[in-house]
Chain A
């Protein structure tokens, strides 16, 4: 998760303009690491969900995390595509900056919701319903 969020943070900071305008093209190599990290996040998340399905599925915070994570990854895929096809030459547009800022907000929500999951569940085992 730290790899995924960290790399997204770095790219978003660059697009917003808070760090120097370094060449984004070579950043594609970091996206490879990013997607390995994302796969680990999704697989370990699936494992946790399968282990305690009732705990997660009865908790609204889980859906908040899942939504933020999904949109965050979709934005990452879209930005990667733009960078690969060199469409971000004019990246200083308000639209790109807004998407980068949204990405940061979504990752903060995903992390916070993830931590709060452990403290907000009201059901632990599915056996409670049988």
Chain B
């Protein structure tokens, strides 16, 4: 697994770029920008579903989400760059593992939203509240992204070999 990831970084030039003088901080800056786009769009939409900003149209506000998807793609791209450049610092890192777990939950939550609730939310009048299920999905999404941000910051402080995964 580690070798596979490392080979990918070496053969694609990612490793070389990330180990250049400004490679790592540049990727970090883009990663954080992506995160801000995500929170500013998906996070704002989640808050709207929870009752903030009453009278803003759900349908119109949902159109911000495409920028959140753009931010997510930036995060995945730069995240793959970090992971493949130093796989041993991530794979065995409990903060990274927790981050991935909550990304999985956020992903399932999003699929659940689009499979069951999104069209109903977009059709809801701006002055009305959305269903309890939509509110629960919004809350799970906000909690997941908050944990993901915190774990992302904690990765630096739980680097192997000083801190190894507690549960493996």
Contacts and interface: CB of A to CB of B under 8 A. Distances in A.
Majority DSSP secondary structure for residues of A touching B: helix
A119 interface: yes
A107 interface: yes
Nearest to B27: A115
Interface residues of B, number: 30
Interface stretch (B60-68, B95-103, B105-113, B116-124): B60-68
B157 interface: no
A36 interface: no
B98 to A, nearest CB: 18
Interface string B24-62: 110011001101111111011001000011111100110
Q: Which of B25, B36, B38, B43 has the most CB of A within 10 A?
A: B36
A112 B57 CA distance: 33
Contacts of A20: 57, 60, 63
B57 to A, nearest CB: 5
B16 to A, nearest CB: 18
A6 B38 contact: yes
Contacts of A19: 60, 63-64, 67
A30 B25 contact: no
B76 interface: no
A6 B63 contact: no
A23 interface: yes
A116 B29 contact: yes
Q: A-B pairs with the 5 shortest C-beta distances?
A: A6-B40, A6-B39, A22-B60, A5-B36, A9-B40
